[in-house]
């Protein structure tokens, strides 16, 4: 694996993604990355001057793999410079509608040959669904990456940097598409992590508080032990978690986010390899040569019905040309995920009325090329939800699972 690019500028150590032409999922294509003109701050640059005088913690903070949940950028507040931003620079994706586009045709953002067309797998999925009597509910809207010519030469990005007046928080535009989605209730065992990219199972756990303290002290140790047993793994590294819900007033936790209504994958193969290095997971030969998996463990904290459940796209129905790499820029490193371009071959599933003892596990990456590598997903508004339907509250945890002997 190529070494990462590390930059020291104004005492800010910054780790960029390794640029791998032979990425196993989507080839790396050189594109403009607008945020790089602003970060890391350079001597004499306005960003560096501002950070030094008004937000020195941005420059002094250092990442430690022993404290993976220390993420102070969430508490960095706006400064007078940041307050000069206009509303269009808010940290929200902007939408573009069909008249905005020159054509309904999806631009080819990458060229791949000798790939099995996704409709071949989609036919199998549809046949399995018919045989098991899994029927779709009514159409719902999913927000995909808008097929703008912009992304042929400019890489999509989302900035988690301190607020910078001249840098838009994101250049990601979305476009809604009607999509059929199937409720797999009663057929959970038909979907396997290594086949579809996701699976449903149970992990009973009693939550006494929706707080960072409780999650870190109680839930994460219990989940880590359960994952080791479930996967027969000698080592599990849990490196991130988030609460999601609209009722943020229920907790003073800094880890709350709203439900995410955009089709995406949390990480690319290159990003996961960098994460291994970031967390000192490649310091032994044992972990270098054995299989590892990056998995998201998602569970509802309210139920049994929620107003905006989580939906998952069977990875067999996704073509590599549907994936567009996007930067997720933090103060100390650049992460990377996938945005998705709409494809009618995509097949979507969810489970209605999940109990708080149930969890969904879905893939972020897998070092084995013989199995499902990833799982696109998105929140969606349940068309059957009423005003009495509880607001969604959920917890997601990201883990690295290492293979044993």
Q: Indicate the length of the chain as a whole number.
A: 405
CA distance 162 to 247: 25
Kindly give the pairing relationship between strand 140-145 and strand 173-179.
Answer: antiparallel
Kindly state the DSSP code that residue 167 receives in the 8-state scheme: S
The single-letter DSSP state of residue 117 is P
Contact residues for 99 (Cβ-Cβ < 8 A; gap 6+): none
pTM: 0.83
The whole-angstrom separation of Cα 21 and Cα 147 is 23
Residue 365 pLDDT > 70: yes
Average pLDDT value for the chain: 80
Give the residue-averaged pLDDT of 6-31: 67
Helix locations, 105-262, DSSP H: 118-131, 212-214, 220-231
The pLDDT tens digits for 69-104 are 887 766 654 443 344 443 333 334 444 433 333 333
pLDDT, mean of residues 255-273: 90
Nearest CA-CA partner of 392 in 257, 279, 215, 282: 257
User: Beta strands of 83-234 (E only): which ranges?
Assistant: 94-95, 140-145, 157-159, 173-179, 181-183, 198-202
Across the range 187-202, mean pLDDT stands at: 96
Kindly provide the b/e burial profile for residues 70-94, where b requires at least 16 CB atoms within 10 angstroms of the residue's own CB.
ebeeeebeebebbeebeeebeeebe
Contact 263, 144 (CB under 8 A): yes
The predicted structure's pLDDT at residue 387? 84
Q: Cβ distance 48 to 54 under 8 Å?
A: no
């Amino acid at each position: 694996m190529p070494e990462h690019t590390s930059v020291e500028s104004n005492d800010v150590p910054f780790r960029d993604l390794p640029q791998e032409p032979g990425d196993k999922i989507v080839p790396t294509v050189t594109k403009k990355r607008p945020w790089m003109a602003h970060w890391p701050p350079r001597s004499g640059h306005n960003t560096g001057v501002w950070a030094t005088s008004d937000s020195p913690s941005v420059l002094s903070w250092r990442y430690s793999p022993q404290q993976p949940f220390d993420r102070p950028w969430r508490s960095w507040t706006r400064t007078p410079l940041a307050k000069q931003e206009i509303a269009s620079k808010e940290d929200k994706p902007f939408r573009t509608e069909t008249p905005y586009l020159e054509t309904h045709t999806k631009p080819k953002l990458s060229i791949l040959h000798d790939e099995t067309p996704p409709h071949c797998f989609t036919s199998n999925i549809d046949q399995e669904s018919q045989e098991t009597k899994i029927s779709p509910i009514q159409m719902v809207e999913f927000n995909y990456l808008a097929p703008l010519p912009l992304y042929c030469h400019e890489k999509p990005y989302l900035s988690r940097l301190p607020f910078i007046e001249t840098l838009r928080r994101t250049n990601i535009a979305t476009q809604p598409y009607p999509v059929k989605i199937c409720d797999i209730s009663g057929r959970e065992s038909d979907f396997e992590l290594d086949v579809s990219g996701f699976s449903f199972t149970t992990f009973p756990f009693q939550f006494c508080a929706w707080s960072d303290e409780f999650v870190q002290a109680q839930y994460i140790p219990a989940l880590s032990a359960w994952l080791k047993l479930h996967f027969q793994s000698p080592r599990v590294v849990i490196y991130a978690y988030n609460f999601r819900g609209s009722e943020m007033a229920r907790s003073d936790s800094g880890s709350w986010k709203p439900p995410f209504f955009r089709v995406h994958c949390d990480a690319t193969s290159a990003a996961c390899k960098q994460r291994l290095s970031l967390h000192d997971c490649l310091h032994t030969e044992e972990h270098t040569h054995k299989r590892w998996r990056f998995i998201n463990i998602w569970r509802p904290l309210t139920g049994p019905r929620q107003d905006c459940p989580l939906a998952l796209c069977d990875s067999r129905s996704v073509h590599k040309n549907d994936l567009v790499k996007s930067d997720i820029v933090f103060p100390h490193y650049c992460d990377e995920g996938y945005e998705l371009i709409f494809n009618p071959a995509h097949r979507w599933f969810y489970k209605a009325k999940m109990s708080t003892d149930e969890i969904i596990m879905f893939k972020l990456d897998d070092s084995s090329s013989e199995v499902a590598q990833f799982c696109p997903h998105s929140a969606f508004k349940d068309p059957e939800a009423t005003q009495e339907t509880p607001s969604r509250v959920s917890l997601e945890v990201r883990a690295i699972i290492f293979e044993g002997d």
